[in-house]
Homo-oligomer: A and B are copies of this chain.
Amino acid sequence: MRILVTGADGFLGRGLVAALSKTYPDAQRIVLTDRAFAAGSPNRMEHVPGDLGDPDFLDQLIEPGFDLVFHLASIPGGLAERDQTLGHQVNLMAPLSLVEKLAKRQPGARFVFASSIAVYGHLGRETVTDATACQPELTYGAHKRMTEILLADLARRGVLSAISLRFPGLVARPATESGHGSAFMSQIFHSIAAGEAYTCPVPAQSTCWWMSKRAAVDNLLHAAGAIEMAQSVIQPPVLHASVADVANAVARLTGQTAKVTFGTDATLQRIFGAMPPLDARTAISFGFQADVDLDALVKAALSGD
């Protein structure tokens, strides 16, 4: 088994990399790529820093062939809105090129793509199901949806064994990562745990879809092995809870008092804080899992794993 992870030094990437050796103890090669690597890394893994938008780098990266690719590399939605050229290169052209080259180099390889619930665009109050239409409203979601469609078609044709997982904003991202519009979903964990005051931009009753990095990693690894599935796009189950409920759980579990002031940012609430219920029975039937409950979510989010 030869494995490639893109975006390997990102928030989700580091979590995945930490779990890879245990899941694939006999892997022949595990190659990690990212623009740069900030920290050291586990033994037995090769670090290949570079730019996925550079065709020569991509050729060189793919050359050994891989049986399994986790494509996590992307720039956050807020940054993609501000820097259109960068968003186009990293979030659209890079996966398109990677997929095209991989399909030629290693037809049938398993390709696990970290997609996003941003593909839906604005959702109404109706429960989200497999039949819910995707009308992405931000460039980030548009690029993710385009990549999903390409992968679904390649999977149908048997060119690649591709699967896309739609992740919500994962918690708790480092406090320094503020490029995501959903940053408030992580900041609320950090600030309450640290006993600090926090001004949350959206109202207390805003409802979000919650998933810890740990659960996201479990779902990525499960997706890698779930090769018999017909579906190539999966909406994993999430916890559906209000910001206030999560804040209370964090305060309770950390013994802190939640010093949170809630704002009324209508745009952020519309995009991230007005999520309807989710019917993820399809994904659950295939073994994908949410965090067990809010307590488990908070513990995982604050563990740093």
Q: Which residues of A contact B (CB under 8 A)?
A: 84, 88, 92, 100, 131-134, 136-139, 142, 145-146, 149-150, 152-153, 156-157, 159
> Do residues B133 and A134 form an inter-chain contact, with CB atoms below 8 A?
yes
Least CB distance, A197 to chain B, in whole angstroms = 36
The complex places the Cα of A137 from the Cα of B156 at a distance, in Å, of 8
Chain B residue contacts of A152, Cβ below 8 A: 136, 142
| Alpha-carbon distance between A151 and B157 when the two chains are bound, in angstroms | 26
> Which residues of chain B have C-beta atoms less than 8 A from A159's C-beta?
84
**From A145, which residue of chain B is reached at the shortest CB distance?**
B149
In the complex the two chains form, is A133's CB within 8 Å of B131's CB?
yes
Residue in contact with A142 in the complex, picked from B88, B92, B137, B149, CB distance below 8 Å:
B149
Question: Complex: how many Å from CA A92 to CA B100?
Answer: 12
Contact B136 A134 (CB under 8 A): no
Q: What are 23 pairs between A and B in contact, CB < 8 Å? A: A84-B157, A84-B159, A88-B100, A92-B150, A131-B133, A132-B133, A133-B133, A133-B134, A134-B134, A136-B149, A136-B152, A136-B153, A137-B156, A138-B153, A139-B157, A142-B149, A142-B150, A142-B152, A142-B153, A146-B146, A146-B149, A146-B150, A149-B149
Complex Cα distance, B145 from A139, in Å, reads 15
Interchain residue pairs A-B with the least CB separation, the first 7: A133-B133, A142-B153, A146-B146, A142-B149, A139-B153, A146-B149, A145-B149
User: Nearest-CB distance from A113 to chain B (Å)?
Assistant: 14
> Which B residue's beta carbon lies closest to that of A152?
B142
Interface centre among A136, A137, A146 (most CB of B within 10 A): A146
Q: What's the minimum C-beta distance from A147 to chain B, rounded to whole angstroms?
A: 9
Expressed in whole angstroms, the minimum distance between the Cβ of A300 and any Cβ of chain B is 32
Expressed in whole angstroms, the minimum distance between the Cβ of A157 and any Cβ of chain B is: 7
Extra pairs beyond A136-B149, A138-B153 (20, CB < 8 Å)? A84-B157, A88-B100, A92-B150, A132-B133, A133-B133, A133-B134, A134-B134, A136-B152, A136-B153, A137-B156, A139-B153, A139-B157, A142-B149, A142-B150, A142-B152, A142-B153, A145-B149, A146-B146, A146-B149, A149-B149
Which B residues lie within 8 Å of A136 (CB)? 149, 152-153
The closest CB in chain B to the CB of A140 belongs to B153
Chain B residues with Cβ below 8 Å from A153 are: 136, 138-139, 142
